[in-house]
Amino acid sequence: MNSENQGTREGVENDCAEKSRDANGPARPAFHFTPPTGWMNDPNGLVFYDGEYHLFYQHNPHGDIFGPMHWGHAVSRDLVNWTQLPTALHPDEHGQIYSGSVVVDWKNSSGLGTADGLPPLVAIYTYHHADREKGGRGDHQTQALAFSNDRGRTWTKFEGNPVLGNEKNQADFRDPKVFWHKATSKWIKALAVGDHVAFFASMDLKEWAFLSAFGEGLHTAGNVWECPDLFPLTAPDGGEKWVLIVSVNPGGPQGGSGTQYFIGDFDGTEFTLDTEFSKLLERFGTMWLDWGGDNYAGVTWSDIPEADGRRLFIGWMSNWLYAQTKPSSGWRGAMTTPRELSLARAGGAVLLAAKPVQELARQMPPRKSIIANKSDYSASSAISFEPGEFTIAGRLHPHSSAVISIELRNRSGEWTKIGFNAGGRNFYCKHHVPGENELAKFKSSERRPMPRYADSSEFDLRFLIDRNSVELFADGGVSVFTETFFPVADYEEIRFLAENTSSDEVEIWFSRFANMA
């Protein structure tokens, strides 16, 4: 048994926003969360409590490649500026600390709170026992608890760990996401088990009973399912639908890892697919939360106040194809921008949509218009590169063949282009590198196109551009594409390109992040 205290109040809390702006070359993002040092992958334990958004993450504090997993920890009051806290959970005799979730146990159902009546924060995570795995034992992944009674500053592991054993010796038995199901007054756990998700129920977070499984035999992407999350969203017609997101590796839309989603219903026991969504799966094979190569293992925050009501998401901005060899020094890994998820109707179907959280806009000054207006029906407008937001919107003419994009360039002749092909009804991303350099080691020159689901003549493209990434939110976020790049020198120019279009079809704005560049 282990009830040791993990973490400490000692030491100076590091401002991660300052760390992310240090002089570390073009690899260090300006406004995306990165670890001050060491390796980072999956976001873990996302929870809101007492005015703070907590971000835990898979962390190797001893090196900048994947290693013995801990839970790193940072907090924010605005989802933009982050304060780094001491490591929350360390490996012990039960194993390394793999992915999981955190909930506020408002009624102290676990009994892990204190006499002051304040609810404990309870972490539910996976133990990974590396020696058992090497020895060929199948029970090397089990589920455990830790708790905090001081706003997440220090953590104590539950003395009865593990609380859910791996009785069937399943090699992949991990990444618990837990939430309170009001309709049945139970804690529900979604757990990744091989190629499916298993659901469990508990009254006290300690004892768990199997409920059902989803995904077995379902022919979607991925060999191994990871990091599930199940949550309700309001449908466009005002009803309620449940969304299940699952990360898969391999099988992603650009090769390697990616995150798919399903829409359906959950009755407290089983998750069932919506009939309309099943038809989408027949048509597209897989519905991707993000079609780019660099959004993986994302989950949503628990305990967002009802007065806020948003479903907030963040993902790991990388891909297992190249995550451990991306160019950086002393640190490695970044998160996507936080996003608000919702359901929207586009192309005759209900889809999962994402948009950057509104807190990001508050960091920006009023946007500056750079409207293209060329009589020869082609446009090219360039501005100097600064991390920030770039927006293109307009109305397409019937049967338009417009190709509208942004292009990032540097003095080394490298460029990245991402945009919208109206005639092909898709969004695309291309990279160009002269000769051999870092980018050529990681990325194909042309990424798989993302289909356009919307069928409206109106379009909008919202780009969030950082030093080494671009996130495209198209058609209100029903099509999303996240891509990283690795230039040998900083990009210096952002160029807007419009081909096969007239000047009245498009309008362009640019705004940098006021306190980030």
**Residue 359, H or E segment:** helix 358-361
Q: Are 87 and 166 in contact (CB under 8 A)?
A: no
DSSP characters over 381-445: EEEE--SEEEEEEEEPPTT---EEEEEEE-TTS-EEEEEEETTTTEEEEEEE-SSS-HHHHH--S
Q: Is the peptide bond before 449 cis (omega within 30 degrees of 0)?
A: no
Count the Cβ atoms, other than its own, within 10 Å of residue 280. 21
Contact 401, 386 (CB under 8 A): no
Pairing assessment for the beta strands 38-49 and 331-332 based on DSSP bridges: parallel
Angle at 34 between CA 29 and CA 40, to 5 degrees: 135
Name the token pair of 41. Answer: 């992958």
d(CA 261, CA 239): 19
Q: Which of 159, 175, 281, 279 is nearest to 218 (CA)?
A: 281
Contact 300, 308 (CB under 8 A): no
One-letter amino acid at 415 equals W
Is 42 catalytic? The answer is yes
- The encoded tokens of residue 216 equal 């077995």
End-to-end CA distance of the chain: 49
Question: What is the C-alpha to C-alpha distance for residues 295 and 24, in angstroms, rounded to an integer?
Answer: 23
For residue 349, the number of C-alpha atoms closer than 13 Å in the C-beta half-sphere is 22
Q: 379-384 contacts: CB < 8 A, separation 24 or more?
A: 379/496, 379/497, 379/498, 379/501, 379/503, 379/506, 380/495, 380/496, 380/497, 380/498, 381/495, 381/496, 381/508, 382/493, 382/494, 382/495, 382/496, 383/493, 383/494, 383/510, 384/492, 384/493, 384/494
Both tokens assigned to 35: 């670890």
Q: Are 174 and 191 in contact (CB under 8 A)?
A: yes
DSSP state for residue 446 in the 8-state scheme = B
The three-class DSSP label of residue 279 is helix
Query: How many whole angstroms separate alpha carbon 170 and alpha carbon 193?
Result: 7
Q: Which of 15, 22, 42, 274 is catalytic?
A: 42
Q: Which helix (H) or strand (E) holds 16?
A: helix 16-19
Would you name the residues annotated as active-site residues? Answer: 42
